[in-house]
Structures are given as C-alpha cells and as structure tokens.
Amino acid sequence: MFLSLSLSILLLSACGQAATTAPTAPAVAAEATVAPAATVAPTIAPVGADQFKNPVLRADFPDPHLLRVGDTYYAYATNGSGKNVQLAVSSDLVTWAQRTDAMPALGKWVRLSAPLVWAPEVIQIGEQFALYYTARDKESDKQCVGVAVAAKPEGKFKDPNERPLVCQVEQGGTIDASPFRDADGTLYLYYKNDGNCCSLPTYLYVQPLAPDGLSLTGEPTQLVRNDKAWEGRVVEAPTMWLHDGGYYLFYSGNDYGGPPYAVGYATCASALGPCEDAAENPILATDTEGQPLVIGPGHQTIIQDDDGETWLVYHVWEVTSAGLRGNRRFMWLDRLAWNDGVPTVEGPTRAPQARP
C-alpha cells in the first residue's frame, strides 16, 4: 500500500511549485494520478459523547487558521469549493459548520484570472478584523501578501489597496503571512519568501505592524532558513506563540504534497528573534505505522480552549481506499503539551480522545 502511495506522490511532486503551499482553485483540475476520493473505512471503536476523533473537518480545508471571538471559533482556509477564503465555525473545536466565502471580492492588485488565494489568517484589532492572505500579484506575477478588513470575523473582508502589503519579488514573492500580538500589545507580521518557486533559499521573516495592522513598519528580520535535512527545500507557515514568557516559532517544512511535510519549531529570544531551531525537530510528521495512513501533516495553527489547554490544528492529506494520496486535505486537532518549556504534539492521533 505505501509503495503505491509513494509512487503517486513522486508523480505529483514533479510538477509545478511542488514545495509551495498548494492552491485548491476550483478552476484547476485534479491531477490524473490521484485516485477517486473514497476514504478508508474507520477501524476503531465509535466515539463517545465526551470524545472526538480526527479529522474534525472531513472536507478539503487546507492551511487552516483559527480565531476565537467570544464563545465561537472561526476557521479560515485556502481557496476551494468556489470560495476565495473558506470559513467554518464551531463552539467546541470539534463540530464544524462551513459558511459562505469570507472574502468574495479580491484586492485590485490580484490577478483575477487565477488568483491562487492561500493561507488566510485573521486577527482582531479594536473593533475590526484584519485578514492577511496570499494571492497572485498581476504586476509581478508572483505570490504576494495583502490585507483586508471587516467589521465581523465572518467578513465580508475587503482589501481596498492598490498594491500588496508585502511582496519580495526579488526573493520569489511572499506567502503565508501570520499576525502576532505581543504581551505589550505590539503587532508583528511573520511571513515567508517564496524562494522555492525559483530555486532560491527560503526564510521566515518578521516585521512590525502599525497599530491598526494595515501597514508594516521598520525592516524585515530573517529568523529561520531551510538549512536542516528534514526541511528540504522550504520552510513555511510561521506561527509565533507566547508561552510562560517564552517565544516559540512553529513552522512547517519540506514538500507539502507528500510524506516529507512536517512541523517543527524554534525558540526565540523575543518576537523579533534571534531564533534557534529545536534539536528534536520535527515534532509532527507522517505516520505510516497504522490505519489510516497520516500523510503530510502541516501548516499548523495554535488555539487555546477554556481550560487553558493549547491545541495544534493542522491539515492532513486524505488517503483513498486504494492506498493513494487523495486530493483533499482534512483538518485535524491534537493537544499541544508543554513539558518544562518544551512543546510536544500528542499526535497525530487516530483513536478517540477527550474533547476540549
């Protein structure tokens, strides 16, 4: 079974920007090597009332980002199902309902013929919400990052800008923007240069944001580079998290399209670095020792529940009944434990586990 899976992935990875976060634009046809999306039948006991089982969202929902507002969790994802920004809502992190497009209209700078809207992330700033997203810049023909605003977390988000917020054209473009609010209220934006599109190194950057979150200030600072074997040609999907006064930069590495994709982290002296990769990386990786296979877990985000527990939310490739990688990425949820300042993902978990 795994041999069939590996051969299929090799064929997929040979095409296009294989190490970049994948678009799921409705206009793009599925690869011919991908088998029909028939999922593996469950092989574990039914889930009890106080338990849940992964995936928590069995739909194509790549690059998930979660935001909590009041008693509601909002999940945003890369384009798909005819939407620029996919949206789902939940009251318990386990039961999700998909909603309409959170950003039905795109900025003037976006190439509308093939916008490739990826990896949206949202933060509340005062009475409004700012959404940072990746899309195709029609001037440079690179993936760049824009910002849109809305009065409500469900949108409709609007980008009034003539140009992207950040676009490192000479470094291949910019993707995977992630906002962070420090303990003193200062806002930062983390992002990645899209160098793997053009045989260039990839870095994770940070840059201060203005208090309204709509413009960048200061200069970008490099924090992490793809210089470890497990990272392959790319590091991406930065997520900064503050825990007990310590700064932890989580990120994904390697080819998103198959088994090499994984999650690691770096410890940082401050929101602006410097950062040092953890020796135990990766902390979440492909697992082929059980059923169903867990292929390419990554593009993580972190959320905290009412009890103060932290959870890692990420996507995993669907695996078909033929043992092949499908063309959908489902949303998974696992506890993120902290042991003497060291984060540990209690997953990927196939079996039923206690609800948040």
Q: What pLDDT shows up at residue 277? A: 98
Q: What pLDDT shows up at residue 173? A: 98
Q: What pLDDT shows up at residue 322? A: 87
**Residue ranges, the chain, pLDDT below 50:** 1-45
Q: What pLDDT shows up at residue 49? A: 83
Alpha-carbon torsion (71, 89, 121, 153), positive or negative: negative
Q: What pLDDT shows up at residue 45? A: 41
- Dist. CA 344–CA 206, nearest whole Å: 24
- Dist. CA 42–CA 332, nearest whole Å: 15
The pTM (predicted TM-score) of the whole model is 0.88
Which residue segments constitute the domains of the chain, with CATH numbers given?
A: 2-44+57-332 (2.115.10.20)
Q: What pLDDT shows up at residue 46? A: 52
Q: What pLDDT shows up at residue 48? A: 76
- Dist. CA 307–CA 343, nearest whole Å: 17
> For the segment 257-294, what is each residue's pLDDT rounded down to a tens digit?
999 999 999 999 999 999 999 999 999 999 999 888 99
> For the segment 119-175, what is each residue's pLDDT rounded down to a tens digit?
999 999 999 999 999 999 999 999 999 999 999 999 999 999 999 999 999 999 999
- Closest Cα partner for 186 from 204, 162, 164, 213? 213
Element at 5 (helix H, strand E): helix 2-13
